[in-house]
Amino acid sequence: MQSNYRRVIRIGAIVFALIAIATVVIGITSRANQFDNVKDWTAQQAIPTVSVGLPNVTSEMATMTLPGRLEAYARAPIYARVSGYLKSWKVDIGSAVKAGQLLGEIETPDLDQELLQARADLASAQANLSLAETTANRWKDMLTTQAISKQEVDERVGDFLSKQAIVKAQEANVNRILALKGFTKIVAPFDGSVTARNVDTGAYINAGNSNAVPLFEISDTRKLRLYVNVPQNYVSSIKVGTQAKFTVPEHQDNMYSATINSSSGAINIASGTTLVQLLVNNAAQELLPGGYASVILDLPNHSALLSVPASALIFDQAGLRVATVGQDNKVILKIITIARDLGKTIEVNSGIEATERVIENPPDGISEGDLVNVAKPL
């Protein structure tokens, strides 16, 4: 009986030991599996997830939008040619004027006195000339009587010629002052409108002042010039006579047309652009000279271009690149050349193919051969 009891106790101890060992083994195995799972999860989380997209193919006809500036077809700042006081002005800003129309008058008391003095000097010179002419003729008559020498006659004739030259000089001086008096009336040089008036009645005008401002400014706005700076890459695509479109901020819903008229024929060193001039018909007077315009130029593409988001660009010591994802989900960095920067998108000349998956927002520090997870499209 006692031996049976001992046998039961021994068997129980063995079972208990086996259960304990099994429990320990299961715990260790479970902990090891959990560690491996955590390790795998951590490694998986260390791989960045990226969004990719295929490059877009541009259409055969591309457009380029550039800032431009509208200018009057003809613009004339009118300065004073004589000093004095503004007697009156006849037109104000915004007034339409015709060529030769009176804009204002300048009162010139000093010039008036100069004219009186010049006319008096001319009268005196003419009187001296008349006397010298009479004297010279008398001495010529006396020469026939041998009463005087030829030398004396020549002196009288020379004096007459000298007085004649003085009269011509005085006449020229009078004509000069009369010409200046003509500038006291300020007139419009051509048909247009008054775009500036910088003086008022009674203001003193100093014609000899190098810092003088124009009295008036006349602009012909029935036709406008539109200036735009075209990047060097596209200068060859800009042809004289072709049409362009543009908009202005004050009429955003309207699209206006312009004709390419000419270009400067040179590249600006500072900006790398060429100045192009377009002509705009402004018969309706809707457009204002000096205003900003957004110019849309058509650029025919001889070959299809690929475009990628601007956020896909990587610029570092290796140059300008984009990151693509290969079939094994590893990063391949491609060096590209830009055809045109459109702001949110970039047109690419070379470096990538249309079938390559481009990372739209590459994470910082991405390198060649890095493994990535590709996010599924929404």
pLDDT band at residue 44 under the 50/70/90 scheme: low
Give the tokens for residue 226: 């539109």
Q: What is the pTM of this model?
A: 0.58
- CATH class of residue range 50-58+304-374: mainly beta
pLDDT band, very low/low/confident/very high, at 77 (cuts 50, 70, 90)? very high
Place 166 in a pLDDT band, splitting at 50, 70 and 90. Answer: very high
pLDDT computed for residue 342 by the predictor: 73
Give SS3 for 295.
strand
- Output 207 or 73, whichever has higher pLDDT: 73
- Among 17-26, 200-209, 308-317, 365-374, name the one with the lowest average pLDDT: 17-26
Q: What is the mean pLDDT of residues 266-273?
A: 89
The pLDDT of residue 363 is above 80:
yes
- Cβ–Cβ under 8 Å, residues 216 and 190: no
Domain ranges of the chain: 1-46, 50-58+304-374, 67-71+221-300, 75-187
Place of tokens 């006396």: 142
In which residue are the tokens 């004509």 written? 175
Cross-strand pairs, 230: 274
* Amino acid 299: pLDDT: 75
Mean pLDDT of all residues in 220-232:
92
Q: Over range 233-239, report the average pLDDT.
A: 83
What average pLDDT score do residues 258-286 get? Answer: 91
Is the pLDDT at 302 greater than 60? The verdict is: no
Instruction: State pLDDT tens for residues 99-112.
Output: 999 999 999 998 88
At the topology level, CATH places domain 67-71+221-300 in Elongation Factor Tu (Ef-tu); domain 3 (2.40.30)
Distances (CA, A) of 320 to 234, 240, 310, 338: 21, 35, 12, 9
> Does residue 277 have a pLDDT over 90?
yes
Cα–Cα distance, 145 to 133 (Å, whole number): 20
Which of the four pLDDT bands, split at 50, 70 and 90, describes residue 72? very high
> SS3 for 202?
coil
Give residue 59's pLDDT band: very low, low, confident or very high (50, 70, 90).
Answer: low
Tokens found for residue 318: 């290796």
Residue 13 CB contacts under 8 Å (≥ 6 apart), including other chains: none
Q: What is the CATH number of domain 75-187?
A: 1.10.287.470
pLDDT of residue 329: 85
